Amino acid sequence: MFSLDGKVALVTGSAKGIGRAVADVLEDHGALVFGSDIAPGEEKTGQGPLLQHDVTREEDWTRVFAQIAAQAGRLDILVNNAGIILNKPFLQTGLDELRNIQRINVESIWIGMQQAAPLMAEGGGGTIVNLSSIYGQLAGPMQAAYSATKGAVRMLTKGVAVEFARGGLGIRVNTVHPGPVETDLGLSGLTPAIAAGRFADLDAAKAFVAASFPMGRWANTGDVAGAVLFLASDASRFMTGTELTVDGGYSIL
Ligand SMILES: NC(=O)c1ccc[n+]([C@@H]2O[C@H](COP(=O)([O-])OP(=O)(O)OC[C@H]3O[C@@H](n4cnc5c(N)ncnc54)[C@H](O)[C@@H]3O)[C@@H](O)[C@H]2O)c1
């Protein structure tokens, strides 16, 4: 059920962090994986260099899907992973900053799902996994803008899941909701607290956060990639519009 042999996948934002781990795990399970990023760097996937792709740009999506169609002839899996965070108090956050994070975290997924659907449907269907966050389910200090976008991803996914299922497209759409993951993005949330003198250094801040999780540690990127693999594979074949939380038990307290 977890085999992805013969499947073709696109993982956005896969130059590093969670996207990198997801691309690796999908490839390990047999998929032909295309990776893309706004800053592709030297990283490679099974298909060679990462594709240059700013997920806020419709024309970039069109070019990336055209390239995948030309090289692989189909698309079975789309992982909308690219995203940013904004660790800032609500009263100090400008509307321009909200609009920027909204474009990168939400509008990108809107465009990606709209453009992926015809290519997936042509090949008999597919599965889309959208990266939300526990901040799409819960509140946190300095996360108002980020939460607004991740909550939007959660409900956008459910809305599209209904239409794709009822429309008989054979495309499932689900969200993954990680708690803090040890990546550049995940660790950036600690910077304001360290700057304010709440913690002596990064290690002290990391230990404090780890202790607040029932499982006692941060997630690593592989923890999240396993959940994405499940939703990308036939192991989740009767699941659509669902939300899978990967947070070491944080949200059950
Ligand atoms: N790390 C965490 O604690 C955590 C928790 C919950 C959810 N998430 C979500 O998981 C996803 C990945 O996070 P991460 O921790 O790996 O982040 P990261 O910062 O390590 O990596 C994000 C990648 O996305 C790329 N990216 C950013 N803007 C882009 C754009 N406009 N177009 C294309 N690529 C772009 C970056 O270049 C980078 O390679 C994000 O959607 C994030 O919100 C992360």
Atom 25 of ligand 1: nearest residue by CA position: 13
Q: Are 206 and 241 in contact (CB under 8 A)?
A: no
Q: Is residue 206 included in any domain, yes or no? A: no
Question: Any idea what the Cα angle at residue 68 is, between residues 67 and 71, rounded to 5°?
Answer: 85
Q: Which residues pair with 219 in a beta bridge?
A: 181
Q: Is residue 133 included in any domain, yes or no? A: yes
Q: Summarize pLDDT for 194-243 with one digit per residue, the tens.
A: 999 999 999 999 999 999 899 999 999 999 999 999 999 999 999 999 99
Q: Is residue 100 included in any domain, yes or no? A: yes
Q: Summarize pLDDT for 74-131 with one digit per residue, the tens.
A: 999 999 999 999 999 999 999 999 999 999 999 999 999 999 999 999 999 999 999 9
Question: Any idea what the Cα angle at residue 148 is, between residues 144 and 151, rounded to 5°?
Answer: 130
Question: Per-residue confidence at 172, pLDDT binned at 50, 70, 90?
Answer: very high
> pTM for the full model?
0.98
Q: Which pLDDT belongs to residue 45?
A: 67
Instruction: Please state the atom number of ligand 1 nearest to the C-alpha of residue 20.
Output: 16
Q: Is residue 196 included in any domain, yes or no? A: no
Burial zone of 203 (CB within 10 Å; 0-12 exposed, 13-18 middle, 19+ buried): exposed
Alpha-carbon distance 173 to 113, whole Å? 9
- Give the range of the structural domain holding residue 56, as residue numbers without chain letter: 8-181+220-252
More confident residue, 48 or 83: 83
Domain count, the chain: 1
Q: Which two tokens stand for residue 217?
A: 């540690």
Q: Is residue 189 included in any domain, yes or no? A: no
Q: Is residue 212 included in any domain, yes or no? A: no
CATH number, domain of 96, equals 3.40.50.720
Question: Per-residue confidence at 47, pLDDT binned at 50, 70, 90?
Answer: low
Q: Which two tokens stand for residue 74?
A: 């189909």
Pocket of ligand 1 (CB under 6 A): 12-13, 15-19, 37-39, 53-56, 81-85, 104, 131, 133, 178, 180-181, 183-186
The catalytic residue positions are 146
Query: Reduced to 3 DSSP states, what percent helix, strand and coil does the chain have, rounded to the nearest 5?
Result: 50, 15, 35
Q: Is residue 135 included in any domain, yes or no? A: yes
Q: Is residue 226 included in any domain, yes or no? A: yes
